[in-house]
Each structure stands twice: as C-alpha cells, then as structure tokens.
Chains A and B, each alone.
Chain A
Amino acid sequence: MIPHRKAHVASVLALLCLGVAACIAGGHDRARQRMWWSGLGPVLPHDTFPADCSLCHVGESWTELVEDFEFDHEAETGVALNGAHAGATCLLCHNDRGPVAVFERQGCGGCHEDVHFGRLGSGCESCHVEHNWYPVGQIELHRNTRFPLIGVHASTACRRCHPGAEVGQFVPTDTECVTCHLSDLQRATNPNHIGLGWTQNCDQCHQPRTWNNAEIDN
C-alpha cells in the first residue's frame, strides 16, 4: 500500500511540475493580437477601409500599427469575438486560405479541425465554450441519450465506458450491463450468478445506488 501511495504521489508531483514548467516556458513572445510583422504583408483586402491610413498605421512604417490601435470587431464587422477568439492574432482567421466570411459561415468547423471525426455533428457549443476548449456539462448532456447517468454511473470517468474519450472519440457503447460489467458478473460467486443463470436483466436486483449491493423483491 505504502509503495503504491509513494508511486502515486511521485507521479502526480512529477506531472504537475512538468505541467507548470511547460506552461511557464510556453510563454515566449506571444503573438499579440495587434502585432504585425513586416514580412506578413497585406493579407487583408483594404479596399473598404477608411481613407485615413493613420488611424491604424504609423507614418514611418506601414508594417507597424499605432500604439493605441483598437479595432472593435463587432462594431466594424458585425461579428463579435468572444472568449479565446478575442485574444487571437488576426492571422489565425484572416490568412491565406481565402475569404474569412466563407469559413465564418461554416461555424466552428470552418477553422477548427473536427477531432471527433464527424461523429458528434456540428453543434460544438453543446459541450465547448469559447474561452476554454475544455468540455463541460457532460452529465446533463447524457440525459439526451437513452442512458442517463445516475448514481454511481454519474461518478465515473468518461473513459471507463468510452475508451476513445481521451482522443475525442465517443462511439456508442452498448447499454447492456455486461458490456462494462462482465468481470463483475464472472466474480459474483455468492450466489453464483452464472451457475444460476443470472446473466440477463441485472437491473431487476441491482440499482446504480452502489456497485455491489442487490435488493430482492419480497
């Protein structure tokens, strides 16, 4: 027990240290939203921009923007930039792929790769928000399926039932109890479930209040 604990704590500390170091070291000269490099050139068409160039550009160098440059994306284009999009550098969207309106029309999928392989549809906002891509609300969303998560199932990591969850793959898992609990069935010897032929309809005696206890109708 103690060696396991030590190994556990050591692994946690090592990963945390690595994570913190990685996060801190990751922040080199972050590409600021207002920054413009001389080599990037005029990717954006300027033909609808104000005639007064000095609103955005420094007179000595067209490749630098004025210090107090502000661009109200919502007011100017009708498209609000929320969450992480508000801090993204312009070129992440306005780049060599083509007119950004084409990609904006397609929603999240216009710019972001579909790491779910098209299996979860186009409603990314059901699980993700713009300020942090980490998903939230899965227990509520699971109510929309035929298998709402209640009791102990609501306290189980997604990857225990969906092995591909770590890489964004939530292929359907068969809802029969033995799909995930086959080893529990094989271990149930008091009474001997398999010997008695109790291999179907587990929910007649077992509830998801606990993993092991059963209740028999009197």
Chain B
Amino acid sequence: MNIVVLVKQVPDTESLVQIAADGKSIKKDDIKWVMNPYDELAVEEALRIKEAKGGSVTVVSVGPQKAQETLRTALAMGADKGVHVNDPAAEGGDPLATAKILAAAVKGLPYDLIICGQRAVDEDNYQVGAAVAEFLGIPHISIVAKAEVLDGRIRCHRSIEGGTVVVEAPLPALFTTQRGLNEPRYASLPGIMKAKKKPIEVKTIADLGLDPATVGAAGRKVVIQALRLPPERKAVRMIPGDTPAAAAEELVRILHTEAKLI
C-alpha cells in the first residue's frame, strides 16, 4: 500500500488570531504553528495501515518554508518521505486552488490511498480532500471514524447526523478523518533524529506544470472582502439565589418570560 497524506500547518487552536492591517488576512508573526489536528489523525492512520500491510507513507504539504516543520513532524511520527510545494505563487489560495496544486503533486507519486483531514482548523473549509479526489478522478469518502483496507477496496465508517454509514470504494481512493479514528502517536526522540535524514522533495508551481494564474492568491474564486471579530455578546447576567432551587427557578423564569426560549 502506497499511502499519501496531505498535511497542513495551521495556527495552534489556543492562538490569539488577529486581523492584519489590510483587514483581510491575519497577523502571522506571533502565532504558534502546528499540524492541523485532523491531519495528525490522517498521518496516524496511514502509519497503522502501513504497519499492518507494508508499503510507504508520503506526506505532502503546500505552504511557506515554515510548513516544512509540519512535514518533519510527520516524518518523525514515522512517515517515509515528504513533498513540499514551496512557491510564493502557491500561497493565499482558496481550497480549490490549493487542491489543484495538491492533485498535481500527488499525480507524480505512486498511491493506492490518500488520507487527509476533514477540515483545516484555520479557515475551516472542509473542501480540499473532495476536490483533490475529483481532480485525480478517484472516489472519496469524508468524515471517517474507522477505516479498513480490504482487497482492493476501502471500507469506511462515515459519521453522519444521528449515526454512521459504512461506505466502500475501490482503490485508489481518498478519505478524510474524523475524531475517534485513532489516537495519534507522539514523535519519539529516535523518530525525530531519524526524520532529519528522511528526504523532503521541494517543488515549485513550474515543476508541477501548473499555470501560476490558476493557483494561489491569483487563482482565488472565493475572495475575502473583510475579516472582523464575531459580534460581541452582552455581558453575562449572573443569576443569584439563596439556594440552588431559587437560582434555578429564576433562570427558568427569565428564559420563559424574557428570552422566550421555553
């Protein structure tokens, strides 16, 4: 099994995300960058499949120089090699533009299975996986909490509202991760040492034969006009009460007569 995992570097979920001077992007300097949590699940799942079935795990990322840290993390977890598309022309794309680059990068690799996150917790787009699969002409299954590789097929437990559907697709296929799939391992110290020697191939948009006008910021179809802070809530109204029962009754009274929610 040759497995490709798509990994993205995103701001740590604890980070304070601030709007940059242009009003349309975020300040990138003071942020701690990490591997997208859903991509950790993807790397872990790929390693487990490789451990069971043999083969290779290649991790692919589109991003600036810094994004190589995320590839190194995946290599330290146990992936075999990395592909880093590092080109200013690749930056600032919307999911479709990024998926075009990823599909082109994956096309040059041997693959039976592609795994990626259901969403990157930066722009929360939930899109790139399906788009990569479409551009490669292979089936995809999204939001997968359990995956089994069968003979030439993949069987996935896909989480939907109110339950799970079990979906099968012939390989090659792509699936996207859901929490519950596994518990990602931490990179061990020997793993980190070994990762330093593992290869990362660096590619440009030209290397991939793509027209720079169709990718990155230039290829964006979804244009951010403005970023703003979410509307603020009014200050919390603390409900007093001599006893829990009194506070409870007052809360219900407010929700009933004032907020009209009960």
| Chain A complexes with chain B | no
